[in-house]
Amino acid sequence: MTPAIPPAMDRPHFIGIGGAGMSGIAKILAGRGARVAGSDARESGTAAALRALGAEVHIGHAAGHLAADASCVVVSSAIRADNPELAEAARRGIPAVHRSEALAALMTGLRTVAVAGTHGKTTTTSMLAVALTHLGLSPTYAIGGDLDVPGSNAESGTGDLFIAEADESDRSFHRYRPEVAVILNVELDHHANYASMDEIYESFEIFADRVEPGGTLVINADQEGARKLTATLAGRRGLRIVTYGDAQDADFRVVRIVPDRLTSDVTVAFDGGELTFRVAVPGRHYAHNAVAALAAGVAAGVPAPALARALGAYTGVRRRLQPKGEANGVLVIDSYAHHPTEMAADLEAIRGGAAGGRVLVVFQPHLFSRTKELADEMGAALARADACLVLDIYPAREDPIPGVTSALIVAAARTRGAEVLAVAEQDAVPGAVAGIARPGDLVLTMGAGDVTELGPKILARLAG
């Protein structure tokens, strides 16, 4: 069964079509037979993958890229009002549809599992999507990162399940009506949109209240913010709450995690029994993500033993502790981590797989607002590495904030005894890494910006 194309989205134009969330929606619409077009700031593998599906992708933004018969323009919160294509759409009376509205429309008629949380969303969503696909259930899914190759972040399936990453950063996840909602953690982030933890709690509470009557909320039993939210939501009519984690009172309790280099064997207790399965990515946080995926799949009616075995088919997402290669005895791995909790968790995981070698980090802060609020915590996380290079802040959608630079993070790390080098020019990074790395070391490129492009350059210089 292929669901119908939502009304007014048969000829969509995506502004920023190469983005992780936007490209997934475009791919699903193309799979359903829509005539997809769009534009992006630069050429990419994602753009090429969309063209292979029949989409028309322009590079650069110009009013002339908007087709005469476009039925709508799809935008994310990052698209500013003065974008020439958005301005042209307004001039011609073509409706603008937010990315989350488009995604919500695609969910119509399907049973939705929506995964939210300050970090871990992409991994947990992809784990569940891969496992269900492995079981032959053909889910539709939309993930905030590629599984392996560009364009693998979404699929228009023939089954009745829709697995979606639910973005809380701009409150857009309030538009979804999931049968199963997952909340991995509740922490202060996205400081441009949330002024306090009270606003964060309120936002996640609204998301939980959007669960369909009789549906299930799967939520972390260990993390402080999630436990506080659970207490607030307890007793809500029509909402079943299922908890997971190390806590003794968790419904899906993690009994033990046995690491084996870059994999783990996880044993979980639930419904009076125990189940052990392999997670093919390192670290406790990824093991917990897998247990969250297991609990969500079971809540959606998938048999636990089969789902647990299928979770072993997951081998990771691009940029989530993704090995980039090895040269001269030095392994280079790429990480999307940009929040201090993610950074610390990935460094802990990598430390477990380093086999006695040093852990060297190349970190690129993401967003001025996040750096302003969390520079000290970022420095504390980086102090877990043996040495680190800190790049300039990747601004993404933000304008600079006076006085907010990478120097704040460097100072915070150094006060904790970390060996830190500030590097302003990315071209200098490969040489700097090659100058300190030795056989047996592990290099981690870390951040949500274009630091990911440095991995191959570092490998080339190491092989030099």
Q: State the Cα angle at 210 between 208 and 212, rounded to 5°.
A: 105
How far is Cα 457 from Cα 462, in angstroms, rounded to an integer? 9
Choosing from 27, 85, 112, 121, the catalytic residue is: 121
Choosing from 46, 112, 118, 122, the catalytic residue is: 122
Q: Identify whether 341 is a catalytic site residue.
A: no
Q: Which residues contact 82 (CB under 8 A, 6 or more apart)?
A: none
Do the strands 322-327 and 330-335 form a parallel or antiparallel pair, or are they unpaired? antiparallel
Q: Determine the distance from the C-alpha atom of residue 30 to the mean position of all C-alpha atoms in its chain, rounded to a whole number.
A: 23
Is 189:156 a contact under the CB 8 Å cutoff? no
Q: Identify whether 324 is a catalytic site residue.
A: no
- Residue 128: exposure state from Cβ atoms within 10 A (0-12, 13-18, ≥19): buried
b vs e for 186-221, b when ≥16 Cβ sit within 10 Å of the residue's Cβ? bbbbbbbebeeeeebbebbeebbebbeeebbbbbbb
Q: Identify whether 165 is a catalytic site residue.
A: yes
Q: What is the CA radius of gyration of the chain?
A: 22
Q: What does the DSSP assignment read for 43-97? A: --HHHHHHHHTT-EEEES--GGGS-TT--EEEE-TTS-TT-HHHHHHHHHTPPEE
Q: State the Cα angle at 428 between 416 and 433, rounded to 5°.
A: 55
Tokens, residue 160: 């009745």
Tokens, residue 366: 């993401």
Choosing from 88, 155, 165, 179, the catalytic residue is: 165
Positions marked active-site: 121-122, 165
